[in-house]
Amino acid sequence: MKITAIELYHVSIPLAHTFWPTWIPGYPQTHNRFTLIKLVTDDGIEGYSAGTAMGREREGLGDLIGGYLIGADPTDVERMQGLLQQAGYLGWRNFWIEPACWDILGKAKGKPVYELLGGEARPIEVYCSTGEMHEPERRVQELLAMRARGFRTAKLRVKNRELKDDIRQIETIAKGVGDQLALGVDANQGWLVSIVDRIPAWDLARAKEFALACHANGIRWLEEPLDSRDYDGNAALKRFSPVKISGAELNYGWDEIKIMFEKDCFHIYQPDATFAGGIAQVKQVIDACHAHQREYTPHTWTNGIGFYVNWNLVLADRGNTLPLEYPLEEPSWVPEFRDGIIAPVVPDRNAMLAPFTRPGLGFEIDQKLLRKYGKRFFKLTEMGLKIRVIREKGLRAAMELGRRKSQG
């Protein structure tokens, strides 16, 4: 099998209400934007994946990856991983493309990807993952409403300049919800962004004090309290903390995350396969969690396609008992706009997701919605690549390149 065509789309879904993500404090998000890739094989199988985007920053991506991917075998995941890494040496993070290969592989075998990874269909509990920081009294009422809809666990955000205000945030909310909900909290310090509000980075002393406050208020876990590449700092915090520390959501794949295992940085590892090395490398993380008696549950705050990618990995982890992150911040970040060009993923009244059985990654692109929200900005076929190489390199050089590539 080989890839014979590549298509790339800018997808931009307007939100009905402005979303204020805590990970970009002060930034009003009015659209859910991502880049969609479609890979087509010589057998006519289509594989899709998506990478979150701020805008049109991947405008030139097709010219970069076309020569790497056209003619490659998408079912040779190890080779595809290598090609995407090579295409990323000049700065692009391309592992979000890799799940499209698994989508093809699953469709070719007539199985969901999680089955290819050794998993099985089973219901999964989800937790309500908030994305904004609201006044604590307001958040209490919102969370109690979520409890009435079946959620048993929720995640808070903190992003104040002063530690005392972050502590007040969790104290008020924890007291307000009582034993109605299990709570986690995300400090969003792993990959600090300060393009609008300049919120200070945490140091180890602040993280330790906040961890103690979390413990005092019954918080179950503390997420990304230090820079994601501060391996020694995270390891020291993990040794100290009376609550579980989690991280590694956007680290650059296994090469970085294996250092975290070596230094024992976290109780819970949460790599997002659309950032952290693709499906194959996150499966390595899952296996390492079993070997080191650590827990795994992924970051999923991207889009509906990214949610499916990570949902497959949770289903692949037979020993997983943690609830899966379910991004939800009403009225802005809701399933209709979050999932965009696929059918919205909605849990039942007990916050459970029924397993999907569709081959591949499990979703189906709604072509009508893709036409509405997406714009194709790149298309390359096998013949198109040959013509381009002839024009750029000349016929003789193109023939020699083709001969050498066919010989592997």
For the chain, the structural domain boundaries read 3-112+363-406, 115-353
- Could you tell me the two tokens for 176? 């307000």
pLDDT digits (tens, 9 = 90+) for 250-285: 999 999 999 999 999 999 999 999 999 999 999 999
pLDDT at 164 over 70: yes
pLDDT score of 93: 86
Per the prediction, the chain carries an average pLDDT of: 96
Q: How far apart are CA 232 and CA 237, in angstroms?
A: 9
Q: Given pLDDT bands bounded at 50, 70 and 90, which one contains residue 393?
A: confident
Mean pLDDT of 84-106: 92
Q: How far apart are CA 169 and CA 163, in angstroms?
A: 10
pLDDT score of 398: 73
pLDDT score of 103: 98
Which residues are CB-neighbours of 324 under 8 A, at least 6 positions away? 124, 125, 126, 127, 297, 298, 300, 310, 311, 314, 353
Q: CATH topology of 3-112+363-406 equal to that of 115-353?
A: no
The percentage of the chain sitting over the pLDDT mark of 70, rounded to a whole number, equals 100
pLDDT digits (tens, 9 = 90+) for 8-47: 999 999 999 999 999 999 999 999 999 999 999 999 999 9
- Could you tell me the two tokens for 262? 């070596």
* Cα 31 → chain centroid: 17
Angle subtended by helix axes 77-87 and 98-109, to nearest 10: 160
Nearest to 123 by CA among 314, 294, 338, 308: 314
- Could you tell me the two tokens for 382? 């096998």
User: CB of 188 within 8 A of CB of 157?
Assistant: yes
pLDDT score of 391: 87
- Report helix, strand or coil for 282: helix
pLDDT score of 178: 97
pLDDT at 406 over 90: no
pLDDT at 402 over 90: no
Which class does domain 3-112+363-406 fall in? Answer: alpha beta
Helical segments of 88-221, H only: 98-109, 113-116, 136-148, 163-177, 204-216
Q: How far apart are CA 16 and CA 330, in angstroms?
A: 10
pLDDT score of 408: 65
pLDDT score of 347: 98
pLDDT digits (tens, 9 = 90+) for 182-200: 999 999 999 999 999 999 9
Which residues are CB-neighbours of 66 under 8 A, at least 6 positions away? 6, 378, 380, 385, 388
pLDDT digits (tens, 9 = 90+) for 316-361: 999 899 999 999 999 999 999 999 999 999 999 999 999 999 999 9
**The pTM is what?**
0.96
Nearest to 177 by CA among 209, 138, 215: 138
Cis peptide before 323 (omega within 30 of 0): no
Helical segments of 36-87, H only: 61-69, 77-87
pLDDT score of 144: 98
**Environment class of residue 2 by beta-carbon count within 10 Å: exposed (0-12), middle (13-18) or buried (19+)?**
middle
Nearest to 68 by CA among 51, 88, 52: 88
pLDDT digits (tens, 9 = 90+) for 291-324: 999 999 999 999 999 999 999 999 999 989 999 9
CATH architecture of 115-353: Alpha-Beta Barrel (3.20)
For residue 12, the cross-strand partners are 33
pLDDT at 405 over 80: no
Mean pLDDT of 86-108: 93
Q: How far apart are CA 310 and CA 352, in angstroms?
A: 16
- Could you tell me the two tokens for 387? 């013509």
Mean pLDDT of 390-399: 82
